Structure 1
């Protein structure tokens, strides 16, 4: 469980797609993809218990592949991986999953950019304007009394073109947003003096360029840093909030520094709110230092078994080479040897070989008495495993909505399956709690559901803890 990768389907980072022609015909690509999945996907047997349905899909796709161009082939390959309904299994190129063939926001907005800029010089509407966010320049135009349209002006990705509609805002505070694969996310937004737009559930922040915001740059940067970043702050005499928007490897140092810097606040807070909204996961190492402060003495883990394949062995060898020369590889070496001795079968790295194991924690002498964890549909992968083990503690309550649901098959890698530039993102293990307790496409359920009428989740959690 130590190398769970984040849920790439939720990534809002934009990776430029390079125009590289495929090296295989569509038929050949499909054949290679099918072979790779059938041999190495740990969920294959569980997801194909109706053989006739699966064989029918393959035959249909083989027939269609003969006449597909590159774009049509992408859609066909996506249809194949979508069959398995696994958020950790997708096909794409350049590290990006292929987009759905259709989507709510496949239409364009008819607009003249120069006329729109001229309009902004006289608009009295605080939301209208030109904004920037990672990978995009966005125009926001009021189209009806209660509705705004966010449209592409510039994009770093070929998946989105100028004038494509990216999102819609309603005066009620609701948004509808299309991710890079054009799948739809909904939630609530906040406006900070018309200078910043924050799409809360997906943790997207847009900064206004035009018209020039009326508040000063220092105020904007301060609020932007808070919205985008990691922070630990006191809300009242009794309650503090810890914001962790990601568990990705590159943030490990930031998280550890944050906890070290605020250790006295962590120990002295009667109540703690941990905000995991929009956290796509990363590595379970990211939250180990928190467990002694929120958990009971014992934590029950449901184990996992890994499918021993040469691809996984090769990935572990690559991982070893990426480590600092002073880092021990003894554990990884043992795993590699075990995999080599059991190619084609499932391996449980747990020493006892049991499907469940129990960790005994040394609890912190001082810790919060009550803890609320905020989670939503954007909370995925290893962030969900944090919810899974945190809910075992008597002093933890999860508030929000069901999490994303991507935890049954994990430790996913991006691999080449023999037809560049196409790539396959595929997990290497299956959870041993299956089939009794599935989480994929269901999510971890909150102890208290927060409905759309609750606009400020942190304020609600504060009231809940102190009432």
Structure 2
């Protein structure tokens, strides 16, 4: 975590930044949920801003009611257990972003520099704790796809990932991108991959979680109906994702001892992980069978 402020008293700032840095670093590297006092970190960030940020008084004068309300709401959120780990950074980022000054920001390091020392079991356990999950079953998805064909909400793809973007208004976001299909390790269906919050400029602040769940953010992005920071909206029939899912995982069928039959109804990039997993699990069978029939009838292509 590195706090970057404009026009500061450097000596005093470095002392305060170091205090905030080591408080959060301790929580990140300990991997414990209760070692980080998020409320104290939020108070410390506000103190850093009030004592060192040259635009603090001006921002308070012009937008103080909104900033004070947000700060108090974030303090309440900071009591919750899910923010007593490195998720605290999300609240800190929400507060500093509200000042709408692109020269005032938090650069978040997350766990990138420590996960190399973790076992796969430790990584999976930690990422399972920090990820926010909004479970969607097939019935819910069907309803969403019926309703979410207009505006920002809907189905979006980015490389091999598919997200359902839903309106979900609270102090942190107005919309969330929930994973439906993903090729990424340590990510699961229902995990919140990104968040959008509209600002006073009628643009959006975009909060995104990378492959290791580290927080990144972009400010003042313009959202078109068909594109969100590289996520491309696709128009699908009501049950097409569910129907495709019900056809997977596909099963290889032996026609003879020398011939294997494999139907593939889609090459859509959102199913790359499913197809890859199927091929991996049948690798030995595929290698030992000399002939392979790929049935592509009804396959509309894809990525």
Common fold, TM-score beyond 0.5?
Answer: no
User: Normalised by the shorter chain, which TM-score bucket?
Assistant: 0.3 to 0.5
Which structure's residues are more often helix, by fraction? 2
Instruction: State the TM-score, normalized to the length of structure 1.
Output: 0.22
